[in-house]
Structure 1
Amino acid sequence: MNRNRAFFLLVLAVVATLSLLVALPYLQYILLGTLLAYVLHPVHLRLAPRVGPRLSAGALIVATVFVVLLPFVVLLSVVAGQALTVATAIRNGRLHLDVIEAYVQTYFGITVDVRELLRSLTADGRAALFDSVFDIFGGISNAAIGLAVLLFVLYYLLKDGRQLVAWVRAAAPLPADVQDDLFAHLDRLMWAVLVGNVLVALVQGVLTGLGFVAVGLPNAVFWTVMTIGLSLLPLIGASVVWFPASLYLFFVGDLTAGAALFVYGALVVSLSDNYLRPLIGGHEAHLNPGLFIVGIFGGIGAFGFVGLFYGPIVLGALKALVDSYNEVGGRLELMDSVGESSPRE
């Protein structure tokens, strides 16, 4: 390696490090904008030839704000109100918690104060929620800047995303067919992790909420949102919500409703995952379940909320890169062996 090449690589490493430091304060927003651009990209491809890439990107951003963000804010306000209703019912003893405590004491010999347990969990949860919100957003002004960064990233990825991918392909020193396989694998991976998991979680949450309404349990919207969030996490899922609810109905003496909710949860809500995931995640990435679980929980620790999606994507991309490297390395070894065996002129 000559001195000019070594100096160039050194400068490249320094500038890349500085660029990473520039992006780190708003990494959450940049990553979220990238996810939204991936989801909206198929719609943009159909709309851009009719109205132009600039107008298409702007219209999709405005539509996303009004179709997704505003209903989401309204839903959060409803969930917050119902959460307060649940907390008030616990505090006022309207949930028959004394019946549950007596049942546990009689059949298991364990003395437990359910109100105190729920109160401590709620207090810890509120503290963790506020801490995470301030850690991620750093206040209202920082959040406003972050949202602006997200919108700019989303706009330019929609408008110039194809040029960016073309630049990456041109800059990457890999054969075209290897790049095609690599990009196709990453596309399947992002679809399976992002679209497949989110849609399955939404369906399971809605099914759980409908079951709660059918058996007469209150605050169904709150429990629906809780189920959607928990269904995104592996090894947890919707059963963490509907199973305790069915037990609660048994404890308070509503045996028919408890049995109906249990059967409905086991046969409809939980089994829906087995049928919907292959259907919705049509191009499944075949990521090892162990890597998937490590990716989700490790991604949350590394990137925050968006790590729920980026963790498995990063590990899956690493596996794809290793496979591509082995393929390219095998080709190079074959070419070297052919070159050595061929007669020299």
Structure 2
Amino acid sequence: MATEKSARRTLVGLILVSIALVLVVASPFFEAFFLAAVLAGAFQGLHRWLTRRVRGHDGVSAGLICVGTVLALLAPLAALTAFIVSEVIEGVNVISNIVEQRGLQGLLAYVPGPLQGPAGRMLDRFQSESAGVWQTLQEQLSTRGASAAQTVGGVVATTGTAVFQTAMMLIALYFLLREGQRLVTWVESVSPLKRGQTTELFTEFRRVTKSVLVSTILTAGVQALAAFAGYLIARVPVPVFFAAVTFFFALIPAVGAAVVCIAAALLLLATGHPGFALFLALWGIIVVGLSDNVVKPLLAKRGMQMHGAIVFFSLLGGLAVFGAIGLLLGPLIVAFFLTVVRIYERDYGRPSPRPGDPATPPETRAVPAQPTLAEGEEFEPSELHTHGEVEEHPH
């Protein structure tokens, strides 16, 4: 017959095994679930407000937030794709008209002066070898067809994975918005921690993730404004569009806002403005690129109980270890450590000295505080006994 102690140990072991198995099952969706939890915590106030607006229909408000998230993700991509496609089509039409009217030599008039020599030599070589161009092209296509197919297949697979993870994130976000409060209450009830400690951890996580998200968006705005100033100085065509693209790329940690500035600098160099191109490249690397490492920690620490240096290194360390999602995981891990230590120090740390403790000198014993009297008031005997015992002395 198993004793109660052994049965309890066995049950704890089974719980640990079940937790490990759940983590294995959920590991393919880790990023999707993590981002959904982060967004659910950040949108909790908005969800409550929308729920009141739609007369208590929490499912409708959760659905509206998910739709808004989809639009926020797809709108910049759709605008960027439409602009690139329109510009490519316009460029192809211009080149076709020039070739029809002036031939291939007419294109040299649009090439910047320093590049006209190499461009002319390339054009002469192309015309002299035009007889074997199609044969060479067919040979290259036949020999490299397999590798090209593999590359296209990899791109399609990566895109499909991203779409799938986004869909899983939106589904998890919907249910966390609707059932998040019940889930927190259940975790609080089954947690081995004292009452209130689990909720305190969740509150700290929500504060940290909200601070990181807000600081990321505000930092992207600051970088877009700085880049917009550089585009105006360098006379980049369509500066407002390039500033919008800079804001979008600033939200992607693996890319960054400086990439757009460098691309615009290459555009200026190709159109014969080397001075402005050099200025814009330096501006993008020094001002736009490095501002992310300065502005984001300053903004993020306002919502965290951390020093600015700790926020800075947690952001960079999380990015280096976990990738783009590390911008959230890094501060969360540090916040988890600090919160656990703070809770332990508060609830189980050094006890405060008590009156009468042998370690406390007699002259430092605490004296019961006497109530403050307003002018004209007198003590009643019941009040004396309320605020402390009064020792009676014989007259």
Q: TM bucket by the smaller chain?
A: 0.5 to 0.7
CA apart distance, 1:20: 1.2
Partner of 1:194: 213
| 1:37 equivalenced with 2:56 (yes/no) | no
Please state whether the residue corresponding to 1:187 is helix, strand or coil.
helix
**Are the aligned partners of 1:227 and 1:237 in contact in 2 as well (CA < 8 Å)?**
no
Q: What's the RMSD between the two structures over aligned residues?
A: 4.9
With structure 1 as the length reference, what TM-score do the two structures score? 0.64
Partner of 1:229: 249
Select the residue among 303, 309, 319 that pairs with 2:338.
Answer: 319
CA apart distance, 1:196: 0.9
* Cα distance per residue 1:105-148 (max 9 Å; x no partner): xxxxxxxxxxxxxxxxxxxxxx9998587358548xxx44x444
**Are the aligned partners of 1:201 and 1:232 in contact in 2 as well (CA < 8 Å)?**
no
| Cα 1:6/1:83, change in 2 over 3 Å | farther
| 1:57 equivalenced with 2:62 (yes/no) | yes
CA apart distance, 1:57: 1.3
Please state whether the residue corresponding to 2:303 is helix, strand or coil.
coil
Identity of aligned residues (%): 24
Q: Distance in 1 between matches of 2:113 and 2:7?
A: 75
Please state whether the residue corresponding to 1:217 is helix, strand or coil.
coil
Please state whether the residue corresponding to 2:19 is helix, strand or coil.
helix
Please state whether the residue corresponding to 1:311 is helix, strand or coil.
helix
**Are the aligned partners of 1:196 and 1:280 in contact in 2 as well (CA < 8 Å)?**
yes
| Cα 1:261/1:322, change in 2 over 3 Å | same
| Cα 1:16/1:136, change in 2 over 3 Å | farther
Greater relative CO, 1 or 2 (CA 8 Å, sep 6+): 1
Please state whether the residue corresponding to 2:78 is helix, strand or coil.
helix
Q: Distance in 1 between matches of 2:327 and 2:265?
A: 29
* AA partner of residue 20 (structure 1): L
Q: Distance in 1 between matches of 2:293 and 2:284?
A: 14
Residue segments in structure 1 that go unaligned for 5+ positions in a row: 100-126
| Cα 1:166/1:249, change in 2 over 3 Å | same
With structure 2 as the length reference, what TM-score do the two structures score? 0.57
Partner of 2:17: 14
Partner of 1:74: 78
* AA partner of residue 292 (structure 1): L
Partner of 2:377: none
Mapping of residues 213-224 of structure 1, within 5 Å: 215-218=234-237, 221=241
Mapping of residues 289-308 of structure 1, within 5 Å: 289-300=312-323, 305-308=324-327
Q: Distance in 1 between matches of 2:36 and 2:48?
A: 17
Residue segments in structure 2 that go unaligned for 5+ positions in a row: 93-106, 116-149, 359-395
Q: Distance in 1 between matches of 2:333 and 2:68?
A: 29
Please state whether the residue corresponding to 2:315 is helix, strand or coil.
helix
Mapping of residues 154-193 of structure 1, within 5 Å: 154-176=173-195, 178-179=197-198, 181-193=200-212
Q: Distance in 2 between matches of 1:152 and 1:49?
A: 22
Select the residue among 148, 157, 169 that pairs with 1:134.
Answer: 157
**Are the aligned partners of 2:215 and 2:300 in contact in 1 as well (CA < 8 Å)?**
yes
| Cα 1:222/1:14, change in 2 over 3 Å | farther
| Cα 1:171/1:133, change in 2 over 3 Å | farther
Q: Distance in 2 between matches of 1:148 and 1:243?
A: 33
CA apart distance, 1:281: 6.5
* AA partner of residue 314 (structure 1): I
Partner of 1:204: 223
**Are the aligned partners of 1:204 and 1:227 in contact in 2 as well (CA < 8 Å)?**
yes
